[in-house]
Structure 1
Amino acid sequence: MSANVSDILDFTVQHFLRQYPDGRHLLELAGLTQEPSHEQNDPLSAYLTLGSLLRHRGLDPRAFLELVAARHEMAETTGRPLWVEANVPCALKAPLEIALKQAGEIQGRGTPPEARITVQSENESSISNQGDTITDLARMPDLTMAAGYNTLLDHAFMRRWATKEHFAANPGRKVNPALAPYGFADPQGIYRAIGVNVFVFVIDPVLAKGRETPDAWEKLLDEAFVRDVAVCGMGDKVSGSLMLHIQAKFGDDAVRRLGRNVRCGMHPSQVIKFLGTGSPQSPAVAVMPYFFARLADIRRPATVVWPRDGAVAMPFFQLVKRNGPEKLATLAAHMEGAEVGRVCSGAFFPSLHPDVPCPLPEEASLAWLGWDTLRENDLAALRRRAATLFEEGRGETRP
């Protein structure tokens, strides 16, 4: 083990993170989850040594040195492994792992690029949830994949970092003709869309009996469904993306009505478990990704409804650092290619690739905020406003 690697135990955490651009990722590989002392701008990191941090957390400093040394050795022989982080819907996690394995094989290795894949319900420590705190792009992976209206779309990140100076752009791509009218591809090519997550209604025929089936978002906000709707989330924590869509399309009062009607956040698999049983734990209507709606339609008595005013759809995209190694460009091209597109569409996340068949019904229509809206309005401010309105609505019916 080289002396310079051994010396890092005496580095402050701040100095280590500055010297090693992938230092945060190395700490996570060693078993340290995200916490303030890992951040360069945290006061404690300027005084706490790396060795002290590891020992305090019950980790073997020598094992960490071996990890760092192994990374150095790999970098000297094959070039450093690519650092990839993907924060995606849970149903896309397994297909994405397949795609990354394919990428590793294409690059002539039996293993994929080093990747950290998190699902959206576990995203507290992911880069896509920290866009407003990034002060140094060294904190970002070589390739970041994210879904939904996350903080990488907030103005704090978008206006400072999301430029061709920092990220490799791919504007003017050909797009699947079924999806082209919706403008999912970023005109500037910075946010390189790969596919789309689409949300539809799933109606429980037992619990919704006697009520008109909601066939549009406006119908879902009707008083007939007060505290009888579930959206993606967990308990009181619900997805904010739906709130943003409702606010943009129908206004502030509609978000309050959404809050009034939503009983709780539930994972779609929980909803499917109770469909058709008449269980009081189940809502009459659930808004869920098309992947899970398909499962519900197959496994349980359920009615899948495509809102006639457009199913909410959100692209998942990749940000690719500029001036990266050649293998980074190869990986990015692979992720936008037909092979990965078929993997995504096969899981009912429509691919933007023009040669991949779209898995959506022909009559389906989609709706989303659009790139102009995202660039003209600060998503962080919209998100805060929508959350306040939603909670006001929930307060009207909360026991």
Structure 2
Amino acid sequence: MANYFKASDTIYDITEKYPETIGLFVSNGFENLNDPAMRSTLGKSITLEMALSMRKLNQEIFIEKLEEVIEQNLPSFTSGLTPTKKEDGGDIRIEGVLPCPIRLPLLEKFEAWMESQKDYMDYKVDYNLKSANLGLDDVKERVIAADGNADALSDLYLSAGFDLFFDKTLMGRYGDAGVFEDLSDIEQINPDFDKDTISLKDPKNQYAIIGIVPAVFMVNTNVLGDRPIPESWADLMKPEFENSVSMPMKDLDMFNAFLLHIHRYYGDEGIEKMGKALLRSMHPAQMVKSHIAKDGNKVPAVTISPYFFAAMADEKSPMRPVWPKDGAIISPIFLLAKGKNRDKVKPFVDFLYSKEIGDILSSNGKFPSTNPLVDNHLKPEQNFMWLGWDYIHSHDIGELIKTTEKLFYHAAEKELL
């Protein structure tokens, strides 16, 4: 149930109280709501529940997206520990983005924990943890503005994003300087990510990973035709899947992870073949209903998607989730902490690495946790494709992203978006 409205509320009531939601309605097929007169007349006679039913939109996901829009327009989120805003300068600064589906429950836990700590902390904490769909542009701008001055950086960063953390024009320039340190002090992470086939524990002890966003794909059995169901990333590179695959290119964290992993395991040829497979770009939330043709667009036979959205697919739809045999591609949720303020930052690292947060990541959001006490309920065949730390530390990841992106778009014969 929504925190700000009920499914039984009228569209008019919701948009009047939260006008920032109008754009979301319009972008999801309710173009009439752009007209104030239509909102006032038609909107008063239709409830949210009725409207979503008519459009065959998933109510739970759409309400979640509405809440995200509303949350982003609320005043800056701070706890009783810090009446100051970020620009006022707290003793500890935390920033980053959280996966959209689990941002609200994570923030609720974070706020409750901050409240419980206020009698024990004699310093101010400024934090800004926004929804991943808003991107990292502002974070990157502040990192660039720091211009090599580590003291100007925040003390803790939480986000997916290979470019932010490894691009040498961004956070990557501070790696060799020893600015950041894995403060979790956990020697052995969750066995799902600490075995012969995969190790997410950074041997240089700089980067911590609290969880992952796995990328899998969904197959539209109605569109597949006589083609066999693809079972691996390699299968998607076959000629029969050219111009048949939808990818989340606007989700840069996942798209960059996709490009890096395909290049790591399949080289330039793999990138070019995946470029040829591209049909169109979709937001992950759209992928759940990607079997529905709209505005004459061709329906993709396969959609690459975060596991969370794949798991949300209606069993009655023709969409079938597939966990690739060569592994779900990993987009890590990094936790990067400055070692300089270890004593003050350590409690936040411990909380964000806790079993409590790990359970939210794994169970509620299907983002497997690296906390060793969390049961991710993964089946033996649910393995992962991972770049590997040796590969990361021996390559200029920022440049590699740019190179693979050019290869991909050239093969797709489409301009950069």
TM range (shorter): 0.7 to 0.9
Secondary structure at the counterpart of residue 373 of structure 1: helix
Letter in 2 for 1:189: N
**Candidates 116, 120, 143, aligned match of 2:156:** 143
Structure 2 residue aligned with 1:394: 412
Question: Structure 2 matches for 1:210-289, cutoff 5 A?
Answer: 210-234=226-250, 239-275=255-291, 277=292, 280-289=297-306
Structure 1 residue aligned with 2:111: 101
CA deviation profile, 1:82-118 (whole Å, cap 9, x unmatched): 4221224322422431342243133137xx9543223
Q: Distance in 2 between matches of 1:299 and 1:134?
A: 51
Q: For residues 139 and 283 of structure 1, do their structure 2 counterparts lie closer, same or farther at Cα, with a shift above 3 Å needed?
A: farther
Q: Distance in 2 between matches of 1:349 and 1:204?
A: 24
**Candidates 360, 364, 367, aligned match of 1:349:** 367
Shift of 1:213: 0.8
CA deviation profile, 1:272-297 (whole Å, cap 9, x unmatched): 1233x455453110111111111015
Question: Which segments of 5 or more consecutive residues in structure 2 lack a partner in the other structure?
Answer: 1-81
Q: Distance in 2 between matches of 1:263 and 1:92?
A: 29
Question: Structure 2 matches for 1:79-118, cutoff 5 A?
Answer: 80=90, 82-108=92-118, 114-118=126-130
Q: For residues 254 and 359 of structure 1, do their structure 2 counterparts lie closer, same or farther at Cα, with a shift above 3 Å needed?
A: same
CA deviation profile, 1:250-304 (whole Å, cap 9, x unmatched): 11121111111112221122121233x4554531101111111110155733211
Secondary structure at the counterpart of residue 137 of structure 2: coil
Shift of 1:199: 0.7
Structure 1 residue aligned with 2:48: none
Q: For residues 382 and 231 of structure 1, do their structure 2 counterparts lie closer, same or farther at Cα, with a shift above 3 Å needed?
A: same
Structure 2 residue aligned with 1:71: 84
Shift of 1:314: 2.4
Residues 198, 314 of structure 1: 8 Å contact kept: yes
Q: Distance in 2 between matches of 1:234 and 1:134?
A: 27
Instruction: Please list every run of at least 4 consecutive aligned residues from structure 1 whose deviation after the TM superposition is greater than 6 angstroms.
Output: 235-238
Letter in 2 for 1:374: I
Letter in 2 for 1:361: K
Question: Which segments of 5 or more consecutive residues in structure 1 lack a partner in the other structure?
Answer: 1-68
Shift of 1:128: 5.2
Structure 2 residue aligned with 1:304: 321
Structure 2 residue aligned with 1:176: 190
Q: Distance in 1 between matches of 2:253 and 2:202?
A: 30
Q: Distance in 1 between matches of 2:391 and 2:338?
A: 24
CA deviation profile, 1:151-175 (whole Å, cap 9, x unmatched): 3112445664135742243365321
Structure 2 residue aligned with 1:328: 345
CA deviation profile, 1:117-161 (whole Å, cap 9, x unmatched): 234442242425775664222432221112132231124456641
Q: TM-score, normalised on structure 1? A: 0.72
Q: For residues 152 and 132 of structure 1, do their structure 2 counterparts lie closer, same or farther at Cα, with a shift above 3 Å needed?
A: farther
Structure 2 residue aligned with 1:209: 225
Structure 2 residue aligned with 1:152: 165
The alignment-based identity, stated in percent, is 26
Q: For residues 328 and 317 of structure 1, do their structure 2 counterparts lie closer, same or farther at Cα, with a shift above 3 Å needed?
A: same
**Candidates 322, 334, 337, aligned match of 1:317:** 334
Letter in 2 for 1:154: D
Q: For residues 167 and 313 of structure 1, do their structure 2 counterparts lie closer, same or farther at Cα, with a shift above 3 Å needed?
A: same
Secondary structure at the counterpart of residue 97 of structure 2: strand
- Range with greater deviation from structure 2 (248-257 or 387-396): 387-396
Letter in 2 for 1:312: I
Letter in 2 for 1:272: V
Q: For residues 321 and 198 of structure 1, do their structure 2 counterparts lie closer, same or farther at Cα, with a shift above 3 Å needed?
A: same
Structure 1 position 197 matched with structure 2 position 207:
no
Q: Distance in 2 between matches of 1:382 and 1:392?
A: 15
Letter in 1 for 2:310: A
Structure 1 residue aligned with 2:63: none
Q: Distance in 2 between matches of 1:334 and 1:235?
A: 27
Q: Distance in 1 between matches of 2:306 and 2:94?
A: 25
Structure 2 residue aligned with 1:63: none
Shift of 1:325: 7.1
Q: Distance in 1 between matches of 2:254 and 2:189?
A: 31
Q: TM-score, normalised on structure 2? A: 0.69
Q: For residues 168 and 206 of structure 1, do their structure 2 counterparts lie closer, same or farther at Cα, with a shift above 3 Å needed?
A: same
Q: For residues 236 and 345 of structure 1, do their structure 2 counterparts lie closer, same or farther at Cα, with a shift above 3 Å needed?
A: closer
**Candidates 169, 179, 198, aligned match of 1:166:** 179
Structure 2 residue aligned with 1:123: 135
Q: Distance in 1 between matches of 2:210 and 2:274?
A: 30
Residues 341, 352 of structure 1: 8 Å contact kept: yes
Give the length in aligned residue pairs: 324
Letter in 2 for 1:90: C
Structure 2 residue aligned with 1:48: none
